[in-house]
Structure 1
Amino acid sequence: MPLMASAQDADLKPCADCADAMTVVSWGGAYQTSQQKAYTEPYAAETKTGFTWDESSNEAVAKLRAQFEAGNVTWDLVDVEGPDSQRLCDEGLAMPIDFATALAPGIGGETPEADFGPSLINECFIPQIVFSTTFGYRTDVAAWNGAVPTSLCDIFDLEKFPGKRALEKRPKKNLEWALICDGVAKEELYTVLSTPEGVDRALAKLGTIKDQTVWWSAGAETPQLLADKEIVFGSTYNGRLFSVIEEQKQPVAMLWDWQVFDFDGWIVPANLPKDRLDRVMNFLYYATDTQRLADQAKYISYGPARASSQPLVGQHATLGIDMAPHMPTNPANQKNFLVNNIEWWADNQDEVEAKFQAWLAK
């Protein structure tokens, strides 16, 4: 098996009968830009494939369900987080993938299964990156009297760190953080959350800062709120915080304590017409090889899902800074961390979401 040492050396398979365009669903912002720079722009240059982007990943499950019910699936490739991929796979809306044949080997000839390792969380999910949700905070808050947050649980300390917070307007991650700061051990989190009392306990802890919290739906909101001084703390994706800190040079710092790791990747809608499916699979072989996943890290501080890509992560494409210290997988940044329980959230998302939204409305 020849080595794939660079983008130019990658094996781009012929695709004579493939569709000439794709509709790709992603998240917008810096992350989508990193996909375009690393994956779709070079692929389009070689194949002349047209790409249409839809920034609906946050609503992917509901919207894909609706497309199937209407008998009109317009999406060709969908970027989702791990739990949503599990739900779509369980419901038969995402196509199972034969990783051994659909994906490229690693740069040293590693099988796709060995190279992707634990990020292959189900048979429908093709991983791209490891990212985390964590907190940014302003470094110039006069009311803090020089104090600096060092712990996740400082989020709940309104006396020492007064000011507005921002949290995502859904339960995932917020419930885990609340229980951690209410004294629940990491290994007991999902045992506790599996009881109504456990969810109530997490909501009660969140209730201690509810009237000081701005609830966000889009990842771009927290960086903007921090930049505008409307909040002093805020959770969002680590890549969004990297942008506001390193690219915008705002007085903001990262709080990595108890960052929550997630896998993000592709699912292919089930039962696509052959010409569209052939194009998607041709693109996926190319876009998820060793070099391309490493290339994405030039544009955003998310760790590539392939082990063979990690040593190829270098400097930011425009800033010229070493990207390794900004990766959530950097050992210095993961002294305390959580990994979402994919199966638990797939099984409980709808019920817990309803309870959370009812609590928010009170």
Structure 2
Amino acid sequence: MTLRKTILATSALTVIAGAAVAEMANDMTLVSWGGAYQNSQQKAYVEPYLEAHPEVSATWDESSAEAVAKLRAMNEAGNITWDLVDVVAADAIRLCDEGLAMEYDPEELLAEGEDGSSAEDDFGDLIVSDCFIPQIVYSTTFGYRTDMVPEGVEAPNDICDVFDLETYPGKRSLEKRPINNMEWALLCDGVAKEDVYDVLETDEGQEQALAKLDTIKDSVIWWSAGADTPQLLADGEVFMGSTYNGRLFSVIEEQDQPVGMMWDAQVFDLDGWIIPAGLPEDRLERVKDFVKFATDTQRLADQAAYISYGPARKSSAPLVGQHAELGIDMGPHMPTDPDNAANTFVYNYDFWADYRDDIDAKFQAWLTQ
């Protein structure tokens, strides 16, 4: 090839590449949960991505708790204003089943692992839906005020201590939804761990769970945002409360509050992205580019430097090191650490995808009684 032809060919590729870049939108609306978790996303991969792409801007919407309802409304109105949505696995399954989330091929959308593994092998069984892009493994568990433990009494270390108002008096905070609360209630009403979901799928089992929750209902402050319980604990307004383990890590290690962690019957769950179905092509191309970057091996390991959630990629685990600011080893603070995972409860994604709407309606009605 002559020098002139080489120059022309190179110029053509530049134009083509330029056109491809031009077809990407230059702004994204990302939806997450706020607080320490969203901050970990911002630090680990949003800021590095924007630094590499100064023409791009990203705006956060902290509406993940309402993602299903809001995406249904957007779809009905024909106006999808979100570009990428962080959701728990069960909500991803519902959105996928309803055609509100985009199905994807892991080998096309996601980067290979740094160890050479395919994306599909690297994420493995954590890809629980054709639409779900895993990010982290986390747990919902309880924190308690160490300075409010009654004198002469052992600190709470059993999930059923939540229901023991005599030994451990004081307010509790529980999430304002049936998930986890119903399972814990049945466990503490004598149902074996392996039978919980069989019982919960029956009307009688649902009533049994609500009856157990009735025993502490008057002592409960209900929360909706992940930041609520850490704030209630920090303010001394509750003795114990449920929230995500990363939020408790923040209030304990970063804020140095007199709060302890109770790992018993922590509920393992997954969190990740879904791409709303029906995005315009330019927005979809930008999101795809961002997702490939944000879920690669290094980025997911980097996130664990800001919050105690385990990365969803196997290849990321060996790269997890110390907290970015505190300099402490993050391994012992992960929900998957053997010392913390002695008695875990495995969340049933399919059950809640199937029963969520019906049980939620019953639970919300119970709250008003």
User: Shorter-chain TM-score: which interval?
Assistant: over 0.9
Aligned partner of 1:294 among 297, 301, 307: 301
Q: Which runs of 5+ in 1 are unaligned?
A: 1-13
Residue 71 of structure 1 is matched in structure 2 by 78
Name the larger-Rg structure. 2
Residue 124 of structure 1 is matched in structure 2 by 131
Aligned partner of 2:66 among 42, 59, 76: 59
Aligned partner of 2:49 among 32, 43, 60: 43
How far 1:66 moved relative to its partner?
A: 0.7
Aligned partner of 2:224 among 217, 222, 225: 217
Residue 21 of structure 1 is matched in structure 2 by 27
Letter aligned with residue 29 of structure 1: G
Whole-angstrom distance in 2 between the partners of 1:282 and 1:228: 42
Letter aligned with residue 30 of structure 1: A
Residue 355 of structure 2 is matched in structure 1 by 348
Whole-angstrom distance in 1 between the partners of 2:353 and 2:109: 25
Preserved contact between residue 144 and residue 161 of structure 1 (Cα < 8 Å): no
Residue 8 of structure 1 is matched in structure 2 by none
Whole-angstrom distance in 1 between the partners of 2:73 and 2:307: 32
CA displacement, residues 104-133 of structure 1 (integer Å, 9 cap, x when unaligned)? 111111011111011100000000000100
Whole-angstrom distance in 1 between the partners of 2:190 and 2:102: 41
Q: How does 1:19-168 map to 2 (within 5 A)?
A: 19-48=25-54, 49-141=56-148, 143-168=150-175
Aligned partner of 1:261 among 268, 286, 296: 268
Whole-angstrom distance in 1 between the partners of 2:68 and 2:154: 42
Preserved contact between residue 144 and residue 162 of structure 1 (Cα < 8 Å): no
Letter aligned with residue 37 of structure 2: Y
Letter aligned with residue 132 of structure 1: S
Whole-angstrom distance in 2 between the partners of 1:258 and 1:359: 24
CA displacement, residues 61-89 of structure 1 (integer Å, 9 cap, x when unaligned)? 01111111111101100000011101100
Preserved contact between residue 15 and residue 282 of structure 1 (Cα < 8 Å): no
Moved more, 136-145 or 282-291: 136-145
What secondary structure is seen at the aligned counterpart in 1 of 2:262? strand
Preserved contact between residue 149 and residue 155 of structure 2 (Cα < 8 Å): no
How far 1:147 moved relative to its partner?
A: 2.1
What secondary structure is seen at the aligned counterpart in 2 of 1:44? helix
Residue 236 (1) aligns with residue 243 (2): yes
Residue 343 of structure 2 is matched in structure 1 by 336
Q: Which runs of 5+ in 2 are unaligned?
A: 1-19
Whole-angstrom distance in 1 between the partners of 2:197 and 2:302: 36
What secondary structure is seen at the aligned counterpart in 1 of 2:243? strand
Residue 277 of structure 2 is matched in structure 1 by 270
Whole-angstrom distance in 2 between the partners of 1:102 and 1:279: 12
CA displacement, residues 332-359 of structure 1 (integer Å, 9 cap, x when unaligned)? 1111111221111011111100100111
Letter aligned with residue 52 of structure 1: T
Whole-angstrom distance in 1 between the partners of 2:207 and 2:222: 19
Cα RMSD (Å): 1.0
Whole-angstrom distance in 2 between the partners of 1:292 and 1:303: 12
Moved more, 14-23 or 32-41: 14-23
How far 1:17 moved relative to its partner?
A: 2.3
Whole-angstrom distance in 2 between the partners of 1:142 and 1:93: 46
How far 1:47 moved relative to its partner?
A: 1.2
Residue 181 (1) aligns with residue 188 (2): yes
Whole-angstrom distance in 1 between the partners of 2:359 and 2:258: 36
Letter aligned with residue 201 of structure 1: Q
CA shift in 2, pair 1:172/1:142, >3 Å:
closer
Residue 206 of structure 2 is matched in structure 1 by 199
How far 1:143 moved relative to its partner?
A: 3.1
How far 1:306 moved relative to its partner?
A: 0.4
Residue 172 (1) aligns with residue 161 (2): no
- How many aligned positions are there? 349
Preserved contact between residue 137 and residue 254 of structure 1 (Cα < 8 Å): yes
Same amino acid, percent of matched pairs: 66
Letter aligned with residue 331 of structure 1: P
